[in-house]
Amino acid sequence: MVYLALTLVIAAVGGLVALKLRIPAGAMVGSMVLVAIAQGSGMPLGSLPSWTRVVIQILLGAMIGLSFTPQVVHELKQIALPAVVLVITLLTTGIITGLVISRISKLDVVTSLFSTAPGGMTDMVLISSVLGADAPKVAALHLIRIVGVLLVMPPLLRWLVK
């Protein structure tokens, strides 16, 4: 129980620091990074009970469901075609990239596909862990993707809008 409490304190500190630094998805990214550092250094940490995954998925589902206001639902009609194009394009490129990564690395196909799937890191890690992927590797690759996007997009956008 003490080790579980230590894990949660480390996670909270990492999450709060990342939020304070305004890192996107800071609560999750910061807690994940700090706990991973502690775990990787050999610090004895406690595992979360298995039922927490279900609770987290329920809360995440509720949070996403609450974003569908009547206005958002109405606007979905206006973006139907772009949404179809977006889904097809992102899924196709994600699948192709995932298969390539699986071929050129030692990652299994499921882990590779979830690592390249479009979507939020939280969602992909939760779903991938249930479907047999190596969730820490999925999380690491999504974190690298997010950091890469955050480093490239601001200067690229400044250059494009000149």
For the stretch 26-55, pLDDT in tens is 888 889 889 989 999 999 999 889 899 889
Query: Could you give the CA distance from residue 6 to residue 24 in angstroms, rounded to a whole number?
Result: 25
Domain carrying residue 82: 68-162
Q: 97-119: b or e for each residue (b if 16 or more CB lie within 10 Å)?
A: ebeebbeeeebeebbbbbbbbee
> Could you tell me if 72 and 33 lie in one domain?
no
**Between residues 89 and 150, which one has the greater pLDDT?**
89
| pLDDT for residue 29 | 82
Query: Tell me: the pLDDT tens digits for 85-131?
Result: 999 999 999 999 999 999 999 999 999 999 999 888 888 998 998 99
Smallest CA-to-CA distance from 28 within 155, 142, 109, 111 is with: 142
- Domain assignment of residue 56, yes or no: no
pLDDT in tens, 57-96: 899 889 989 998 999 888 888 888 999 999 999 999 999 9
Radius of gyration of the chain (CA): 18
Do 36 and 104 reside in the same domain of the chain?
no
Q: Tell me the mean pLDDT in the region 15-19.
A: 94
User: Using 50, 70 and 90 to split pLDDT, how confident is the model at 24?
Assistant: confident
Give this prediction's pTM.
0.64
**How many domains, the chain?**
2
pLDDT at 158 over 90: no
Three-class secondary structure assignment of the chain? CHHHHHHHHHHHHHHHHHHHCCCCCHHHHHHHHHHHHHHHCCCCCCCCCCHHHHHHHHHHHHHHHHCCCHHHHHHHCCCHHHHHHHHHHHHHHHHHHHHHHHHHCCCCHHHHHHHHCCCCHHHHHHHHHHCCCCHHHHHHHHHHHHHHHHHHHHHHHHHHCC
Are 126 and 158 in the same domain?
A: yes
Residues 26 and 89 placed together within one structural domain of the fold: no
- State how far the Cα of 52 lies from the Cα of 28, in Å rounded to an integer: 15
Same domain, 147 and 94: yes
- Same domain as 148, residue 89: yes
Judged against a pLDDT cut of 80, whether residue 25 lies above it is answered with no
136 pLDDT band, cuts 50/70/90, is very high
* Under 8 Å between Cβ of 67 and 46: no
